[in-house]
A and B are shown apart, each in its own frame.
Chain A
């Protein structure tokens, strides 16, 4: 079990690294910003750089230390000691324990028990803390924003800052009633956090970054690109760029295609910004509509708008992404 004294000692000559997993709109980046704001020493917070959309999985990283020289590095965080997950649906979708050393902490907003989480993430060598942040958020804040609440659970297990330091940071960041509500929610979170401690602490002196991890070995090298920068949709696509991104998990809607009504006019194929309309060459030598690529369809609904025969319909997803949409905007 970590103690405040131990953590303070570690921070003198080492860094403590954090990672936050959330979905766009849930405020994971704000949570990590607040860590830097609340911490008494030096800190740096980096979002995973790139595009963020409502509902898409996001990551942000924090590095904290009392030693300024260690914090000057802008290297990304490869081995977080504490990982916080704001949305339980991410557990199955993303490797949330990547780089987490043994004895590290996984903090999840969930009602699932810790043993089930252990099985889901396939790690028995990590400590787990759970908090039903969604319920606290709805009770206290009146809306499902869990980012400050997860910080309550984080501070309960990590001691990187105190409740008072976090409250001060919240008051600098939020105004009036909103600040008071968030502080009340954090207080409740500290009390309600469930801890599953395996009796092993992370070794803060060892950095477990794999050498050259940043190079993503396994993807094509420069010699394997026959024409850099150009690829055709109909050919075997080099798995770089947007092809890798599961934009399908971002959308609010499942887009449905009615084969009976479809006239193969291909207007949807032209208008789709993500090549998510699948077509196949038939025996007649012509292209025919074949379905929707759910992995890439982010439900912009352009196809539904343009279809002249109503062959395309939509259905609200019951899955994770819908949770990320605030209720007043039609989410559930």
Chain B
């Protein structure tokens, strides 16, 4: 990148600015605007520039935050959780193996109800080979974090601000995800929000504190007579979260004019009553492809956790969708379906909608019009829910043969 990529954030942003930026720097900028107190993360490709950008604004003096260097992702999430429990507004970021290393402390952030935000630049896990490229690693574990997924640089910039709103209103930690490299390293157009508007959307509220006047214990041991009550308490606290997210989207729209929904839909009243359903950067590929393929729709999941089951059911019912083509950038070696597809299948269960899951784009494999053409064609032949419900698409079977594709 060029000299001082964060320069635009060194001064107060007084009016909306249209500019171009990579996803990671855009996130760093948005986080700067939310005025965090603590930034603590460990670098990992393809997340790196987000934290690097923040170190720039802290160093330059624009942002008065504690920029804490730690020795690992486990330390980063532990430090961040504790800082958040002490009342600070905290940002952290990771990807792939770093997310795995965080696993031990991820449930604690949920259990303590800390309003932490974390960016994830989705990247494959290292198996069987090391890959720094994009897959969805974040879907494979679910510890109760809120999760919103972005399609492009504008969305991930906005998500950094929305996550702070959602975290602090719900008192659950929120991760916001963009596809590694595809969004994190792509330069796209975006419009920045004025600082005053961001601060207005994310006022600092009194939350947790740790003080000697009011000592407490975090995460102390309980006997079997208490643990389940704690879990049920969390379960009930999760119930209003989707409403809180919708409300955050609404306030965001009123302040910026940009509209987001838990689920976004395109061209659902089409002739084939078929729709793709997916999330992240692939949605953009499908929208472009749909300019020439008008007989199929798209359902884009923006809020992935908590999963908007009822909203999805309503959309499928209202538009009489008969078939769904699920595209997922993760696989499951053991389960009937990979995690994202499992959530959709659960939602569709009472409706009996036909679907198939296509596993695409693992480890940075480009997802192109070829995949969409074939998935659509394959779906035309599906008439029941028998047999294997998922397949891989866009993989070489042998040197000259593509798996389950006749060329």
* B397–A221 touching, CB < 8 Å: yes
**Interface: A37 (CB within 8 A):** yes
**Interface: B378 (CB within 8 A):** no
Q: Mark A30-72, 1 if CB is under 8 A from B, else 0.
A: 1011001100001111110111000000000000000101111
* B394–A220 touching, CB < 8 Å: no
Interface size class on chain B is 35 or more
Q: Chain A residues with Cβ under 8 A from B401's Cβ?
A: 221
Name the one of B20, B284, B394 contacting A72, with C-beta atoms under 8 angstroms. Answer: B284
Q: Chain B residues with Cβ under 8 A from A220's Cβ?
A: 396, 398-399
**Interface: A211 (CB within 8 A):** yes
Name the one of A27, A216, A223 contacting B398, with C-beta atoms under 8 angstroms. Answer: A223
Report the minimal beta-carbon distance from A112 to chain B, rounded to whole angstroms. Answer: 29
Spot the interface stretch: A73-81, A134-142, A186-194, A296-304. Answer: A73-81
Q: Chain A residues with Cβ under 8 A from B133's Cβ?
A: 49-50
Q: Chain A residues with Cβ under 8 A from B3's Cβ?
A: 173-175, 178
* B396–A217 touching, CB < 8 Å: yes
Q: Mark B10-38, 1 if CB is under 8 A from A, else 0.
A: 00000000011000000000000000000
**Interface: A115 (CB within 8 A):** no
Report the minimal beta-carbon distance from B355 to chain A, rounded to whole angstroms. Answer: 24
Q: Mark B322-359, 1 if CB is under 8 A from A, else 0.
A: 00000000000000000000000000000000000000
**Interface: B255 (CB within 8 A):** no
* A74–B183 touching, CB < 8 Å: yes
Q: Chain A residues with Cβ under 8 A from B397's Cβ?
A: 221-223
Query: How far is B151's CA from A224's CA once the two chains are assembled, in angstroms?
Result: 35
Restricting to A95-149, which residues have a CB under 8 Å from any CB of B?
none
Interface centre among B179, B287, B368, B397 (most CB of A within 10 A): B368
22 A-B pairs (CB sep. < 8 Å): A32-B187, A33-B1, A36-B20, A36-B188, A43-B187, A43-B188, A44-B188, A47-B185, A49-B133, A50-B132, A72-B284, A72-B288, A74-B186, A75-B288, A173-B3, A211-B407, A217-B400, A219-B396, A221-B399, A221-B401, A223-B397, A223-B398
User: Chain B: residues with CB nearer than 8 A to chain A?
Assistant: 1-3, 19-20, 46, 127-129, 132-133, 151-152, 179, 181-183, 185-189, 281-285, 287-291, 364-370, 394-403, 405, 407
The 5 nearest A-B residue pairs measured at CB: A229-B128, A73-B288, A72-B284, A221-B396, A45-B187
